Structure 1
Amino acid sequence: MGSEQRPSTAAVAASRSPFRYNSPLVQVGLIGIVCFCCPGMFNALSGMGGGGQVDHTAANNANTALYTTFAVFGILGGGIYNLLGPRLTLLAGCSTYVLYAGSFLYYNHYHHQLFAIIAGAVLGIGAGLLWAGQGAIMTSYPPARRKGTYISFFWTVFNMGGVIGGLIPFVLNYHRTDAASVNDGTYIAFMFFMAAGAVLSSPSFPSRVVRDDGSRASDIAYSSVRTESVEILKLFADWRMLLIVPAAWASNFFYSYQFNNVNGLLFTLRTKGLNNVFYWGAQMIGSITIGYVLDFSFNSRRTRGFVGITTVAVLGTATWAGGLANQLRYPDGVWADKLDFKDSGAKFAGPFVLYVSYGLLDSMFQSLCYWVIGALADDSQTLSRFSGFYKGVQSAGAAVAWQVDTRGTRLLPQLIVNWSLTTASYPLLALLVMLAVKDTEDGEDEKSKALKTSASLPVEENAQGKGRP
């Protein structure tokens, strides 16, 4: 009998389609769709200012509760992801979004804050789990040289949720030009999308994901509570995480100012929805732009990081300078004549462009942060903890920011603090790139190369001739 011919490494790699179920491209796309439905719609709801209510107090208090629990479970989320795996973690996280939107439907009729605050706290727990899982998938699954591209791909799909979510209140409230809360249909539409995201989250994510070159992007080995507790505590002494703290704190701190005191304060109800279409649409453009810079601008990964930081810093300085010029037009926080996209003429243009620029900057800043995190390691367990730490610190900053706005802090100091926080983060990110991002061959670390070599072998030759299940 003739010997059995084994497939070559090239044949094995060639047989792997980028559109197969367990490919990084499909998995990042799926997590993008899930986030399109859940946090994407949440962003659209928040972006109207006050959760679509004239009085922002309930939404501010709900968001404070949300980001307080998010800060805790964001940090714990990476460990929980390593314990439960992607499916249970994402299902648990996505299931909490519907309750939050429903609480504002309730508030529309009864004006009781307690339900919204409790729903916000519950959502904070779920969001911590969802974003820890999302961070692990988005930063560990792509090949090292294309992490910026995959991050921008996710950000584009995810922010399409904000675009669609912005169209919902725009269409349903088009003829309500007076200052009023959004109607019930708006909240019901948000709840429908959020429920769909929860349904999609559980069956979509396999435990083993293989890149096109044969290297394993993930091979879930479930951890233990003791291990995760120790590893999470170590993050607080990890100099790499300490350098990213200012960027993490700043990255959601500005939302209360932008949503409540720019979009929520300056524009009519229907125009707020339209503005959000362009705000989140600009995020798609921004993520694609910075993704290209971070993956294709130079051969050196470290150089690409420096160029990306410089690009975001220049854009950030210009955008916040424009914000300062606009804020000086209403230093007391009063804008008497609401701007409407049809009725206000040229007066509408400046604040509209500014608000859209805020969205552009947001996506570029956060995509940059995720790229840096993704460059620090290659395995999903480590990156789930890093991403969870980032989201936890980010949410702690957001919790403070929403209370700053609730307490009636003057708007000019809010803007100055936001500008200062983002500006302070740029040199620290540059230092992190200089010290921790390696220019290894093909942008891969040694562990990734070893996995690639092992996984590229024919199945019969793996594990000393024993087939791998």
Structure 2
Amino acid sequence: MADLVPAKVPTITTTVADPVLPFDEPIKPVKRTCYRTTLFNAFVIGAVGFIAPGLWNAMNSLGAGGAQSPYLVNAANALVFGLMGFLCLFGGPIANRIGLNKTLLLGAVGYPIYSAGLYCNNRYGNVWLVLVGAVTCGLSAGLFWASEGAVALGYPEPGKRGRYMNIWLWFRTGGPILGGAIVLGLNSDVGAKTKGKVGYQTYLVFIALQCLAVPIALLLSPPEKVQRADGSRVVVRAEKSFKAEFYALWQVTKRKEILLLLPVFRAAYSNQYSGTLQTYYFGVRARALIGFVSNFGTLLSSQIISTLLDYKGFTVKKRITIGYYYVVVIHIIAWVYGWVIQEKYTRTKPVFDWVDKGFVEGFFVLLLWQFAQQALQNWLYYFLSTSTDNSSELARFSGVLRGQESFAQAVSFGFNTSGQAGECRWRSTLFCWSSNTKHSTWSMTDSSRSYCCRAYLASDEEPCTSRDREVPGSS
């Protein structure tokens, strides 16, 4: 890589009102057009996330996308996340070349095709469209997350980034809640008490809603046209080639602290376990109820960890440390409880409806997993956001995070594409998680000393002396 010269690296940067020197002209608020404001664009990115990946998550929270057998859908999801991993890593250069609004548009088109594949498989037994939908969804999802991260972090005024990140989070979680309510309403009759698949009408509703994401994506303003309340601008520096961006990405991925942190990104490995467990041990309407209610656990988990990470009584370094061990503890609780229940189910092989006595204990396995995973994701984003005040570098960190999560899920779903006496790959999942814990502990210890903002992390005072250093959730 010695011949690669880091030329002018494309990025979205922000201009902020620094302390005014005698020769500086202060930035003055300007009259703005409604659809060019940062708040409007936050709602656009949130709305696309609500009905595209949000409803996709709602389908998968049913277990196996609502199918009777998990293996085809697990194979499709392995394909989705494998492609998504590559597009997350390399989506930044694409977005910089064709524009964020076009990238967001392309990031929305694949989701309804995926849902259409599940519909055809559910009603007609079609297989090939499921795999085609998985390919288009994987490509779209990678582009969506590339553009979404740049908009969420780069568009808002520095003093409002935390507030707009919260808007994005609630929109993204609202999609699965709406989708879960739709699924529950369409699959709550007595005939859905036993194992099976959801009604095909469920997918028709999802397809119709996900198609709306495409025209909504067209409402996103290009960064150079965004109008902030303080009059500052979102500046786009033109790119001459992909070469410089790939070089910068390579520089990020080979940093010691990033390499040590990579294993913890694989905590999403457990997703195949929770989905497959539902198809084995719960009836259709029980799965629908779980898919709806578990999203409230996700919101509660996010609120708890965000409150902890925003607590002003601790330094940033201490918040990160306490938050990390909090995440480890709740993962241990989820693992131990889940292992006990899994061993019990392996022996007895039950099938639960929501009125059955054993439903709640099985439901809590899935609820605890959702709770633990959301806490980890919030902690990771917070941890990475304190590593730099350079929005371009932060976007690369986020791309590495999303890419590694996607690769981990591709592996996890790939492991469960065929039957194995009705058992989930529990022990292999546990091994990966325990390895993650060890390496991420080293990373956290090392990163607290060596990140480029180490003075920012180690300060005993409130560290946000620069408006650009505000971390998500601090508003």
TM-score range for the pair, normalised by the shorter chain length: 0.7 to 0.9
Q: CA RMSD in A?
A: 2.9
Deviation digits for residues 384-419 of structure 1 (CA, Å, limit 9, x no counterpart): 322222211111111110111124464331442354
> Do structure 1's residue 420 and structure 2's residue 420 form an aligned pair?
no
Question: For 2:391 and 2:229, how far apart are their aligned partners in 1?
Answer: 17
TM-aligned CA deviation for residue 331 of structure 1:
3.3
TM-aligned CA deviation for residue 383 of structure 1:
2.6
* Paired residues of 2:62 and 2:291 also in contact (CA < 8 A): yes
Question: For 1:141 and 1:296, how far apart are their aligned partners in 2?
Answer: 25
Counterpart among 130, 143, 146 of residue 144 in structure 2: 130
The within-5 A match list for 1:172-187 is: 172-175=186-189, 176-187=192-203
Counterpart among 176, 193, 196 of residue 162 in structure 1: 176
TM-aligned CA deviation for residue 16 of structure 1:
8.8
Indicate how the Cα distance of structure 1 residues 306 and 131 shifts in structure 2: closer, same or farther if over 3 A, else same. Answer: same
Partner of 2:407: 396
Counterpart among 323, 327, 339 of residue 352 in structure 2: 339
**Residue-pair matches, total:** 433
Indicate how the Cα distance of structure 1 residues 403 and 155 shifts in structure 2: closer, same or farther if over 3 A, else same. Answer: same
The within-5 A match list for 1:427-442 is: 427-431=441-445, 432-436=447-451, 437-440=453-456
Q: Which amino acid aligns with 1:113?
A: V
* Paired residues of 1:372 and 1:433 also in contact (CA < 8 A): no
TM-aligned CA deviation for residue 210 of structure 1:
6.6
Question: For 1:256 and 1:327, how far apart are their aligned partners in 2?
Answer: 14
TM-aligned CA deviation for residue 290 of structure 1:
1.5
TM-aligned CA deviation for residue 179 of structure 1:
2.2
Partner of 1:240: 257
* Paired residues of 1:313 and 1:426 also in contact (CA < 8 A): no
Partner of 1:282: 297
Partner of 1:66: 80
> Do structure 1's residue 349 and structure 2's residue 360 form an aligned pair?
yes
Question: For 2:244 and 2:339, how far apart are their aligned partners in 1?
Answer: 47
TM-aligned CA deviation for residue 113 of structure 1:
2.1
> Do structure 1's residue 203 and structure 2's residue 219 form an aligned pair?
yes
* Paired residues of 1:256 and 1:401 also in contact (CA < 8 A): yes
> Do structure 1's residue 230 and structure 2's residue 247 form an aligned pair?
yes
* Paired residues of 2:83 and 2:139 also in contact (CA < 8 A): yes
> Do structure 1's residue 118 and structure 2's residue 132 form an aligned pair?
yes
Question: For 2:309 and 2:164, how far apart are their aligned partners in 1?
Answer: 11
Counterpart among 293, 317, 325 of residue 302 in structure 1: 317
Q: Which amino acid aligns with 2:254?
A: A
The within-5 A match list for 1:357-368 is: 357-368=368-379
Aligned to 1:340, what secondary structure does the other structure show?
Answer: coil
TM-aligned CA deviation for residue 272 of structure 1:
0.8
TM-aligned CA deviation for residue 424 of structure 1:
3.3
Question: For 1:76 and 1:238, how far apart are their aligned partners in 2?
Answer: 18
Aligned to 1:219, what secondary structure does the other structure show?
Answer: strand
Q: Which amino acid aligns with 2:360?
A: A
Indicate how the Cα distance of structure 1 residues 205 and 445 shifts in structure 2: closer, same or farther if over 3 A, else same. Answer: farther
Indicate how the Cα distance of structure 1 residues 191 and 200 shifts in structure 2: closer, same or farther if over 3 A, else same. Answer: same
Indicate how the Cα distance of structure 1 residues 287 and 42 shifts in structure 2: closer, same or farther if over 3 A, else same. Answer: same
Deviation digits for residues 79-125 of structure 1 (CA, Å, limit 9, x no counterpart): 22222232111110111101000011111233232221121112111
Aligned to 1:95, what secondary structure does the other structure show?
Answer: helix
* Paired residues of 2:46 and 2:168 also in contact (CA < 8 A): yes
Question: For 1:438 and 1:21, how far apart are their aligned partners in 2?
Answer: 39
Aligned to 1:55, what secondary structure does the other structure show?
Answer: coil
Indicate how the Cα distance of structure 1 residues 118 and 419 shifts in structure 2: closer, same or farther if over 3 A, else same. Answer: same
Indicate how the Cα distance of structure 1 residues 79 and 57 shifts in structure 2: closer, same or farther if over 3 A, else same. Answer: same
- TM-score calculated relative to the size of structure 2: 0.82
Partner of 2:97: 83
Question: For 2:55 and 2:149, how far apart are their aligned partners in 1?
Answer: 19
* Paired residues of 2:261 and 2:444 also in contact (CA < 8 A): no
Question: For 2:443 and 2:170, how far apart are their aligned partners in 1?
Answer: 23
Q: Which amino acid aligns with 1:192?
A: A
Indicate how the Cα distance of structure 1 residues 192 and 100 shifts in structure 2: closer, same or farther if over 3 A, else same. Answer: same
Counterpart among 35, 44, 49 of residue 49 in structure 2: 35
Indicate how the Cα distance of structure 1 residues 407 and 184 shifts in structure 2: closer, same or farther if over 3 A, else same. Answer: closer
Aligned to 1:186, what secondary structure does the other structure show?
Answer: helix
* Paired residues of 1:148 and 1:291 also in contact (CA < 8 A): no
TM-aligned CA deviation for residue 348 of structure 1:
1.6
* Paired residues of 1:257 and 1:414 also in contact (CA < 8 A): no
Partner of 1:267: 282
Partner of 2:339: 324
Question: For 1:369 and 1:351, how far apart are their aligned partners in 2?
Answer: 28
Question: For 1:20 and 1:378, how far apart are their aligned partners in 2?
Answer: 28
Question: For 2:260 and 2:198, how far apart are their aligned partners in 1?
Answer: 41
Q: Which amino acid aligns with 1:96?
A: G
Q: Which amino acid aligns with 1:361?
A: A
- TM-score calculated relative to the size of structure 1: 0.83
Going by fraction, where is helix more abundant, 1 or 2?
A: 1
> Do structure 1's residue 52 and structure 2's residue 58 form an aligned pair?
no
